[in-house]
Chain A
Amino acid sequence: MHPETFLRVLGPEPYRVAYVQPSRRPADGRYGENPNRLFKHHQLQVILKPSPPNIQSLYLSSLAAIGLDLAAHDVRFEEDNWESPTLGAWGVGWQVLLDGLEITQFTYFQQSGGIDLDPIPAELTYGLDRICAYLQGVDSVYDVRWSEDRSYGQVRLLEEQEFSAYNFEYADPVITRKLFELHEKEAGQLLAAYEKRSGKQDRRYPILAAYDHCLKCSHLFNLLDSRGVISTTERAQLIGRIRQIACRVAVDFLAQQAESRGAAATAEVAR
Chain B
Amino acid sequence: MKAKLKDTANFLFEIGCEEIPAGMLPGAMRELKVILEKYLSAHNLAQGSPVEVYGAPRRLAASCACIRVRQPDEIKDIQGPSKSVAFDSSGRPTPAAEGFAKKWNVPVDELVTVATPKGEYLSAKQVILGKSAKEILEEILPRTVAEIPWTRSMYWAGAEGLRFIRPIRWVVALLDGKALRFSLGDAVAGNFSSGHRFLGKAKIPVVDAKDYLQKLRANFALARPEDRRQKIEGELRRLASAKGLRIHEDEHLMGQVTYLNEYPTAILGGFDSSYLELPEEILITVMRDHQKYFALERKDGSLAPNFLAVINLDKDKSGLIRAGHERVLRARFADARFFWETDQKCRLADYLPKLGAVTYQEKLGSYGEKVERIRESARWLCEQWFARGIAHASVGAADRAAELSKCDLVTEMVREFTELQGIVGGLYAKSQGEPEEVAWAVYDHYKPSGLEDSIPRNIAGQAVALADKFDSLVGCFAVGLVPSGSSDPFALRRAAIGIVKILIETKLPVSLAMVISRSARTLAHGPRKIAVSPAVEKQVLDFLLDRARFVLRETGGLAYDEINAALSAGADDLVDAVRRMEAIRAIRKTKNFEALAVSFKRIRKILEKAGPESGWKLSSVRSDLFVEEAERELHARAAAAMKEVEQQKRALKYREALQEIAKLRPAVDRFFDEVMVNAEVEQVRKNRLTLLSGLLSEFSTIADFSEIVTAEQAK
- A residues apposed to B, CB below 8 Å: 30, 33-37, 50-51, 53, 56, 60, 70-79, 81, 91-92, 94, 98-101, 108, 110, 116, 118-120, 134, 139, 228-233
Does any Cβ of A come within 8 Å of B76's Cβ?
no
Q: A56-B18, A77-B18, A92-B152 are in contact. Are A72 and B334 (CB under 8 A)?
A: no
Can you spell out 18 A-B residue pairs with CB atoms less than 8 angstroms apart?
A: A34-B331, A35-B327, A50-B157, A51-B156, A72-B317, A73-B320, A74-B311, A74-B324, A74-B325, A81-B152, A99-B323, A100-B291, A101-B324, A118-B159, A119-B158, A120-B154, A232-B357, A232-B358
* Cβ–Cβ < 8 Å partners of A36 in chain B: 328, 331
B167 touches A108 (CB 8 A): yes
Distance in angstroms from A73 CB to nearest chain B CB is 6
Chain A residues with CB below 8 A from B313, complex form: 71, 74
Enumerate chain B residues within 8 angstroms of A230, measured Cβ to Cβ.
357
Q: Are A92 and B154 in contact (CB under 8 A)?
A: yes
Min CB gap B221→A, angstroms: 14
CB-based contact A118/B21 at 8 Å: no
**CB closest residue in chain B, given A77:** B19
Once the chains bind, are A120 and B156 in contact (CB under 8 Å)? yes
List chain B residues, Cβ under 8 A from A119.
157-158
Residue of A nearest to B186 (CB): A53
B4-29 contact mask (Cβ, 8 Å, vs A): 1 or 0: 00000000000000110111000000
- Please determine whether A99 and B328 come into contact, CB atoms closer than 8 angstroms: yes
Chain B residues closer than 8 Å to A92, beta-carbon distance = 152, 154, 166
- A74, B321: Cβ atoms under 8 Å? yes
CB of B152 within 8 A of CB of A233, answer no
Chain A positions within 8 Å of B154 at CB level: 91-92, 108, 110, 120
B227 at the interface (CB under 8 A from A): no
Give the nearest-CB partner of B318 in chain A.
A72
Find chain B residues with CB under 8 A from A79 CB. 19, 21-23
Given contacts A53-B169, A73-B321, A77-B19, contact A101 B328 (CB under 8 A): yes
Q: Please give 4 more A-B residue pairs, beta carbons under 8 A apart, in addition to A35-B330, A99-B323.
A: A99-B328, A101-B324, A108-B156, A231-B358
Tally of B interface residues using CB under 8 Å: 52
> Which residues of chain B are near A73, meaning CB under 8 Å?
320-321, 324
For the complex formed, measure the closest distance between the CB of A144 and the CB atoms of chain B, giving whole angstroms: 14
B567 proximal to A (CB < 8 A): no
**When A77-B19, A79-B23, A116-B159 are in contact, do A34 and B335 touch as well, CB less than 8 Å?**
yes
Q: Enumerate chain B residues within 8 angstroms of A120, measured Cβ to Cβ.
A: 154-158, 161
Minimum Cβ distance to chain A for residue B55 (Å): 14
Please tell me if B354 contacts chain A, counting CB pairs below 8 Å. Answer: yes
Chain A residues closer than 8 Å to B251, beta-carbon distance: none
Look across to chain B and name the residue whose beta carbon is closest to the beta carbon of A56: B18
Produce 1/0 per residue, B295-331, CB < 8 A to A.
0000000000000010111001110110111011111
* Contact indicator B312/A99 (Cβ below 8 Å): no
Q: How far is the CA of A4 from the CA of B23 in the complex (A)?
A: 33
Q: Are B338 and A34 in contact (CB under 8 A)?
A: yes
Q: Which A residues are CB-close (under 8 A) to B155?
A: 108, 110, 118, 120
B366 within 8 A of A: yes
CB closest chain-A residue, reference B322: A99
Known: A99-B325, A231-B359. A33 touches B338 (CB 8 A): yes
In angstroms, Cα B320 to Cα A230, docked, is 43
Residue B586 CB within 8 A of the other chain: no
Instruction: Give complex CA distance A119, B167 in Å.
Output: 14
Instruction: Report A-chain residues with C-beta under 8 Å of the C-beta of B23.
Output: 79
Q: In whole angstroms, what is the CA distance A2 to B560 when docked?
A: 61
Q: With A94-B19, A231-B357, A233-B362 in contact, is A100–B325 under 8 Å at CB?
A: yes
Q: Which residues of B come within 8 Å of A, CB atoms?
A: 18-19, 21-23, 57, 152, 154-161, 166-167, 169, 186, 197-199, 260-261, 291, 309, 311-313, 316-318, 320-321, 323-325, 327-331, 334-335, 338, 354, 357-359, 362, 366, 410
Distance (Å) between the CB of B268 and the closest chain A CB?
A: 14
A30 and B335 contact, Cβ closer than 8 Å, known pairs A53-B169, A99-B324, A231-B358: yes
The docked-state distance in angstroms from the alpha carbon of A120 to that of B354 is: 43
Give the chain B neighbours of A70 by CB distance below 8 A: 198
List, in ascending order, chain B residues with CB within 8 A of A232's CB.
357-359
- Which residue in A30, A81, A228 is a CB contact (below 8 Å) of B354? A228
Chain B residues, CB < 8 A from A231: 357-359, 366
Top-5 shortest CB links A-B: A99-B324, A79-B21, A231-B357, A77-B19, A118-B159
Min CB gap A264→B, angstroms: 24
User: In angstroms, how far is the closest chain A Cβ from the Cβ of B418?
Assistant: 13
Point out the residues of chain A lying under 8 angstroms from B335, CB to CB.
30, 34, 37
Complex CA–CA separation, A73 to B267 (angstroms)? 13
What's the minimum C-beta distance from A92 to chain B, rounded to whole angstroms? Answer: 4
List the A side residues contacting B311 at CB < 8 Å.
74
User: Chain B nearest CB: distance from A91 CB in Å?
Assistant: 8
Q: How far is the CB of A120 from chain B (nearest CB, A)?
A: 5
Q: Which chain A residue lies CB-closest to B19?
A: A77
B334, A35: Cβ atoms under 8 Å?
yes
Q: From A97, which residue of chain B is reached at the shortest CB distance?
A: B328
CB pair B330–A139 under 8 Å, yes or no, is yes
Cα–Cα, bound, A101→B335 (Å): 14
Using CB atoms, name the residue of chain B closest to A119. Answer: B158
What residues of chain B lie closer than 8 Å to A118, measured between beta carbons? 155, 158-160
Contacts A70-B198, A99-B325, A100-B291 given: A78-B260 contact, CB under 8 Å?
yes
Chain B CB count within 10 A is highest, among A91, A92, A228, A230, for A92
A79–B23 Cα gap in the complex (Å)? 9
* B328 surroundings in chain A (CB, below 8 A): 36, 99-101
| A134-B19 contact in complex given A100-B309, A231-B366, C-beta closer than 8 Å | no
Which of chain B's residues have a CB closer than 8 A to the CB of A229?
A: 357
A94 nearest CB neighbor, chain B only:
B19
User: A60, A75, A108, A233: which contacts B359 (Cβ < 8 A)?
Assistant: A233
Q: Which residue of B lies closest to A139 (CB)?
A: B327
Complex alpha-carbon distance, A35 and B338, angstroms: 12
In the bound complex, residues from chain A placing their C-beta under 8 Å from that of B317 are 71-72
User: Which residues of A lie under 8 Å from residue B57 when comparing CB positions?
Assistant: 77
Q: How far is the CA of A33 from the CA of B158 in the complex (A)?
A: 44
B169 contacts across to A, CB distance below 8 A: 53
**What's the nearest-Cβ distance from chain A to residue B269, in Å?**
9
A60 contacts across to B, CB distance below 8 A: 197
Measured CB to CB, the closest approach of chain A to B152, in angstroms, equals 7
Nearest CB of B to A121, in Å: 10
Chain B CB within 10 A, most for which of A37, A74, A110: A74
How far does the alpha carbon of A91 sit from the alpha carbon of B153 in the complex, in Å?
10
Bound CA–CA A260/B701 (angstroms)? 83
Cα separation A76 to B160 with both chains bound (whole Å): 29
A81 to B23, CA, bound (A): 13
List B contacts of A50 (CB < 8 A).
157-158
Task: Give the Cβ gap from A230 to chain B, nearest Cβ, in Å.
Answer: 7
Q: Are B334 and A34 in contact, CB atoms less than 8 angstroms apart?
A: yes
Q: Is the CB of B320 within 8 A of A72?
A: yes
Question: In whole Å, how far is B231's beta carbon from the nearest beta carbon of chain A?
Answer: 16
- In angstroms, Cα B415 to Cα A232, docked, is 13
Q: Which residues of A contact B260 (CB under 8 A)?
A: 76, 78
Give the contacting residue for B338; candidates A30, A101, A108; CB below 8 A. A30
Within the complex, what minimum Cβ distance (angstroms) separates A11 from chain B?
Answer: 13
Query: Whole-angstrom distance between the alpha carbons of A230 and B366 in the complex?
Result: 13
Instruction: A228 to B199: give the CA distance in the assembly, Å.
Output: 47
The docked-state distance in angstroms from the alpha carbon of A87 to that of B215 is: 47
CB < 8 Å: which of A37, A51, A74 contacts B331? Answer: A37
Q: A50-B158, A99-B321 are in contact. Are A75 and B198 (CB under 8 A)?
A: yes
- Return chain A residues, CB-CB under 8 Å to B410: 228
Contact of A72 among B157, B312, B321, B331 (CB under 8 A): B321
Nearest Cβ distance between residue B361 and chain A, in whole angstroms?
10
Q: Are A101 and B22 in contact (CB under 8 A)?
A: no
What residues on A are CB-neighbors of B316 within 8 Å? 74
Please name all residues of chain B whose beta carbon is closer than 8 Å to the beta carbon of A37 when the two chains form the complex: 331, 335
